[in-house]
Amino acid sequence: MLPSSTVVQMPSPPSGCASAAASSTSHSSGLVLGVCCDQLMPQHSHPHPVHRNVPVPATSEKERHKERQLLATKWPPPCFIVLASLLEILVFVCVGQVPPEDSVLIYRPDLRLQLWRFLSYALLHASWLHLGFNVLTQLLFGLPLELVHGSARTAVIYMAGVLAGSLGTSVVDSEVYLVGASGGVYALLAAQVASVLLNLEQMRHGILQLMAVIVFVFCDLGYALYSRELEELQARPTVSYIAHMTGALAGLSVGLLLLRQLDGGLRPRLLRWLALGVWSAFSVFGIAFNLINTVTAQLLAEQEGEVLKQHLLHDLGMG
């Protein structure tokens, strides 16, 4: 295509050929007119011609559908992780760094019948470092999870991790008083792993997210070893690693069961049943263990009280 500033000049015919000159002149006029009309047509900035009525590929339709689904999940905006973090900070400011043992929120093995303690202990923290670590971690890993999968699923996973932390501690460390949201935090970490496993092909940086979780867990293990050394030098509250492990187990199993698949497909039936079976077996065992221990402790207390009563009456000469 000639640029707009190009001028086309035709060579003049020889003088001895009048008819040929006339014919050449007519052809020349036609050529010049064609060039001028071409110069008058609007010029397009892009070099490729525009094709109309081209059918849209099916892949682009799927991508638009995925984008619409992702935009739909962003409204309402993520609120659970932010509200949970603000509530934990507020409770810490009101209660103080060292929560009292008679607090109505702390988990105590001798008060297992007060069922709210299996969840409310997550609102208490032992220090500013403990609080800041948990809040920062759940914001860093929980907000992206909530943006993609919604607040309801994230809340269920978080609370399942908190419940699993208290149930696991009550089974393994039955004399421990428990505070902190580490069970819920590790549930969010494990749910990130579940999300990557379910949507690896649809995620741009799935491997990086998985590596970030692994690096964080190794850093936490390093801090655990460091804190054990400090515990021998000064009195510090111990870390409940059972709550971390059981919270992660709950996050992985519930995450595989509830989290969305971005391609719109159905997860394998075996995977769903396996996740449901792991979470159900753990929960049933933990609840049954606590019920049996509570009833047994009450019976022993009643028997011990009756024995003490008989000894007292005998000493008073009234037996």
pLDDT, one tens digit per residue, over 240-249 is: 778 888 999 9
∠ CA(90), CA(223), CA(108), 5° rounding?
Answer: 50
Cis peptide before 76 (omega within 30 of 0): yes
| Residue that wins the pLDDT comparison between 82 and 12 | 82
Gap between the Cα atoms of 147 and 81, Å rounded: 11
pLDDT in tens, 43-53: 444 444 444 44
| pLDDT value at residue 74 | 57
Say which amino acid occupies 258: L
Q: What pLDDT is attached to residue 315? A: 54
* pLDDT, greater one: 40 or 62: 62
Q: Is the pLDDT of residue 287 over 50?
A: yes
Hey, what are 200's tokens? Answer: 């690896």
Is residue 240 one of the residues assigned to a domain? yes
Tell me, yes or no, whether 32 lies in a domain: no
Task: Give residue 98's pLDDT.
Answer: 75
Please give the Cα distance from 274 to 286 (Å, whole number): 18
DSSP letter at 46 equals S
Query: Which residues span the domain enclosing 84?
Result: 79-302
The mean pLDDT of 203-216, rounded to a whole number, is: 77
Name the band, by pLDDT with cuts 50, 70 and 90, for residue 250: very high
DSSP 106: S
Predicted confidence at residue 148, as pLDDT, reads: 87
Please tell me which residue, 280 or 26, carries the higher pLDDT value. Answer: 280
309 pLDDT band (50/70/90 cuts)? low
In a domain, 271, yes or no: yes
Residues with a catalytic annotation lie at: 182, 244
Q: Is a pLDDT exceeding 80 seen at residue 31? A: no
User: 312 lies in a domain?
Assistant: no
The CATH number of residue 129's host domain is 1.20.1540.10
pLDDT of residue 116: 92
Q: How would you class 42 by CB atoms within 10 Å of its CB: exposed for 0-12, middle for 13-18, buried for 19 or more?
A: exposed
CB 135 within 8 A of CB 88: yes
Is the model's pLDDT at 57 over the cut of 70? no
Please tell me the chain's helix, strand, coil percentages from 3-state DSSP, rounded to the nearest 5.
Answer: 70, 0, 30
Contacts of 109 by beta carbon, 8 Å cutoff, 6+ apart: 170, 174, 175, 176, 177
Both tokens of 237, joined, read 């509250």
- Tell whether 5 is covered by a domain: no
- Any domain includes 190: yes
Asked if residue 30 is part of any domain, the answer here is no
Residue 43 belongs to a domain: no
Is the pLDDT reported for residue 167 higher than 50?
yes
Residue entry with tokens 């159900």: 280
Q: Is the pLDDT of residue 24 over 80?
A: no
CA distance 23 to 17: 10
Our count of domains for the chain comes to 1
- What pTM value is reported for the model? 0.68
Adjacent-strand bridge partners of 178: 107
